[in-house]
Structure 1
Amino acid sequence: MAQPEVKTESAGTVVVAGAANLAIAAAKLVAGLISGSAAMLSEAAHSVADTTTEVLLFTALRRGARPADARHPFGYGKESYVWAFFAALFTFVGGAGFAITHGITTILVHEHSGNFVISYVVLAVSFVIEAISLARALRQVRRESRRWGTTPRRFLRLTADTTVKAVFLEDSAALIGLLLAGCGVALSELTGDELWDGIASVLIGLLLLVVAAILAYSNLSLLVGRAVPERLQHEIERSLAGLPEVDRVGMLFTMQLGPEDILVAAKVDFRDDATGAEVEASADEAERRLRERYPEVRYLFLDPTDSMPGGIARTPGEPEPPIGDGPVDPGRR
Structure 2
Amino acid sequence: MSLGSKIKENIVLFGALAANIGIAIAKFVAASITGSSSMLSEGFHSIVDSVNEVLLLYGEHRSDAPPDHEHPFGYGRELYFWAFVVAILIFSVGAGLSIYEGYSHWTNPETLTDPTVNYIVLGVAFLMEGTSWSIAVREFSQAKGDQGWWAAIKQSKDPSVFIVLFEDSAALSGLAVAALGVWASHYFNMPKLDGAASIVIGLILGIVAVLLAREAKGLLIGERADPEMIENIRAMVGRQDWVSEVNHVRTIHTAPKQVFVAISADFDDEVTMGDGEQLIEELEDALREEMPELTSIYIRPEKAENAAIKPKGGEEG
TM-score (norm 1): 0.88
Matching residue within 155, 171, 189 for 1:158: 155
Shift of 1:238: 2.3
- Larger mean CA deviation between 226-235 and 19-28 belongs to 226-235
- The equivalent residue for 1:329 is none
Larger fraction in helix:
2
- The equivalent residue for 1:330 is none
- What is the letter of the counterpart of residue 105 of structure 1? S
Q: 1:169–1:252: structure 2 CA closer, same or farther, 3 Å change rule?
A: same
Q: Matches of 1:231 and 1:206 in 2, distance apart?
A: 38
- The equivalent residue for 1:266 is 263
Q: Is the 8 A contact 2:247 2:307 kept in 1?
A: no
Q: Matches of 2:141 and 2:132 in 1, distance apart?
A: 15
Shift of 1:152: 4.1
Shift of 1:43: 0.5
Shift of 1:17: 0.5
Give the superposed CA RMSD: 2.2
Q: 1:124–1:214: structure 2 CA closer, same or farther, 3 Å change rule?
A: same
Aligned length: 314
Which string of whole-angstrom CA distances, capped at 9 and with x for unpartnered residues, describes residues 258-312 of structure 1?
1111100011111112344553344234323432332211111000121354723
Q: Where in structure 2 are the equivalents of 1:113-192 lying within 5 Å?
A: 113-146=112-145, 149-192=146-189
Which string of whole-angstrom CA distances, capped at 9 and with x for unpartnered residues, describes residues 91-110 of structure 1?
11111110011111111112
- Larger mean CA deviation between 76-85 and 20-29 belongs to 76-85
- The equivalent residue for 2:79 is 80
- The equivalent residue for 1:100 is 99
Q: Matches of 2:15 and 2:292 in 1, distance apart?
A: 27
Shift of 1:177: 0.7
- The equivalent residue for 1:196 is 193
Q: Is the 8 A contact 2:16 2:132 kept in 1?
A: yes
Shift of 1:14: 0.7
- The equivalent residue for 1:58 is 57
- Kindly, what percent of the aligned residue pairs are identical? 34
Q: Matches of 2:209 and 2:38 in 1, distance apart?
A: 19
Shift of 1:37: 1.0
Matching residue within 226, 246, 268 for 1:229: 226
- The equivalent residue for 1:331 is none
- Larger mean CA deviation between 29-38 and 220-229 belongs to 220-229
- What is the letter of the counterpart of residue 90 of structure 1? L
Secondary structure in 1 matching 2:241 = coil
Q: Is the 8 A contact 2:55 2:82 kept in 1?
A: yes
- The equivalent residue for 1:321 is 314
Higher relative contact order (CA 8 A, sep 6+): 1
Q: Is the 8 A contact 1:9 1:140 kept in 2?
A: no
- What is the letter of the counterpart of residue 191 of structure 2? E
Shift of 1:245: 1.5
Q: Matches of 1:43 and 1:277 in 2, distance apart?
A: 66
Q: Matches of 1:313 and 1:220 in 2, distance apart?
A: 25
Q: Is the 8 A contact 2:76 2:256 kept in 1?
A: yes
- The equivalent residue for 2:215 is 218
Q: Matches of 2:223 and 2:209 in 1, distance apart?
A: 20
Q: Matches of 1:152 and 1:281 in 2, distance apart?
A: 44
- Structure 1 residue runs of 5 or longer lacking an equivalent are 327-333
Q: Matches of 1:20 and 1:104 in 2, distance apart?
A: 28
Which string of whole-angstrom CA distances, capped at 9 and with x for unpartnered residues, describes residues 165-195 of structure 1?
1111101111111111111111111101123
